[in-house]
Amino acid sequence: MISRLLSLALLAAPAAAQSQDAADFSALGSMTAAQVRTSDLPGLPLPSEKSWGVNYSLKGVLSLTEDGPYLNTADGRLFKLDLSERKARKLDGRTVVVEAQARQADDLSVLKVGKISEYTPKAGEVVPAPYQPRRRQALLLENKAGELVMGNVRKSDAEVPPAGSYDWTTMTVKPELIKNVYFIKKPFKPELVAAHSFLVFTFEKGGLKDAAGREPMALALSIEGKTRVGQSFSPLTGLNNAFGINWSLSTWEEYAARTIYEEKGHLVPYPVLLSHAEKAALLTESMRQAAVDREGEFYNTIKNNCTNNLLILFNRVLPKERQIKMWTIPYMVYNVRATMPLMVIKNLQKRGLLGAEFTDINAQTLHTVLP
């Protein structure tokens, strides 16, 4: 029973509707790293020994320099590769396809190469389907004088956003005028086990303005699987490099309305307990990381998901003694309290980083103001 529940509970993003007996769910919190490692988890491979957190698949030109091997991708990105000089010398100047890992979402400085081979595009090679239109790459258009201008922020002027139709704007953000940060739980059935989570930032007057000068209630950052047209999200396939990852920005009003009217769901905010300086730093780091080009990066249900990346952001602004441990055993067993939304909430509350549930946002309380 525990292994079956753990298989489902580790799905830290939208789960398919399933009926599971969650009576033993509380036992997960007391499992040791050794128990997690030796549990029978059919179809749910844990991170392998010495694996890093984020999987990549990239094509580009390999260059061997005095500082080591680098990969230049077609879209202009440059990655340093953890690759032997012998292998790099054989492929120097060649177009290659690389399967590799980065340490985590905020540390892409080096890619540890798992597989690398020369690549020659074939005539008539099939072009992948376009990405679904709900998610766009956030853009950091400007960063100066205490302001961040973010592009590709999803919004809606309608009370009920039309399904399948999306509007976009730029948003001017002033970190010093941040008021509060909320960790939002978006439950899925069975609600004792499955949930999505994301961050929402509220502001003093003038702290958040769209391109038309309007001031939304709040700005949402949601880290999600980046699916293509005709592809549906599945937490199980999210373990197998099935789709990309997207750090999506939207207004709180648009996100909440779609959750309630389109998805028939509800949202539960928890206030993040940080100093004003830490909140401003968290907002700034969140916007910078949201704007990172992650093409070729894979969502992973355990190691690179909606929730653990929020904790990575927290760790960037917390003093060392308050940071959250991401791995139970470094690069062998991922900390379930850093990746499973329901366990993360209890963990953060215990650490004094989250307050109590603020309210339940549903059809009756949709217009509740987040302080």
Write out the E strands in 119-267. Answer: 139-144, 147-155, 167-173, 178-188, 194-203, 208-210, 218-226, 244-251
Tokens of 9: 């509970």
**Is the peptide bond between 190 and the residue preceding it cis, with omega within 30 degrees of 0?**
yes
Among 74, 61, 185, 182, which Cα is nearest to 118's?
61
In the block, which residue shows the tokens 């207004």? 251
Check: pTM over 0.85? Answer yes or no: no
Q: CA angle, 235 as apex, 195 and 324 as ends, to 5°?
A: 55
Q: What is the spatial distance between Cα 113 and Cα 107, in angstroms, rounded to a whole number?
A: 15
pLDDT at 42: 43
Residue from 143, 222, 212 nearest 175 by CA = 143
Sign of the alpha-carbon torsion through 300, 105, 12, 151: negative
Please, which residues bridge with residue 226 across strands? 244
Tokens 């853009």: give the residue: 139
**What contacts 135, CB < 8 A, 6 or more positions away?**
224, 226, 246, 248
Q: How crowded is residue 244: how many other Cβ atoms within 10 Å of its Cβ?
A: 19
Closest CA to 247 of 140, 96, 354: 140
Number of Cβ atoms within 10 Å of the Cβ of 94: 14
- State both tokens at 38: 């030796």
* Domain annotation for the chain: domains and CATH numbers: 54-118 (2.40.50.500), 139-350 (no CATH)
Write the DSSP assignment of 81-103 as a string of letters: EE--HHHHHHHTT-EEEEEEEES
Question: Can you give the pLDDT of all 371 residues of the chain as single tens digits?
Answer: 233 334 444 444 443 333 333 333 344 444 444 454 455 444 444 444 456 889 999 999 999 998 999 999 878 899 999 999 999 999 999 999 999 999 999 999 899 999 999 988 777 666 678 888 998 989 999 998 899 999 999 999 999 999 989 999 999 999 999 999 999 999 987 666 678 999 999 999 999 999 999 999 999 999 999 988 888 777 778 888 888 999 999 999 999 999 999 999 999 999 999 999 999 999 999 999 999 999 999 999 999 999 999 999 999 999 999 999 999 888 778 888 899 888 999 999 999 999 999 999 999 999 999 99
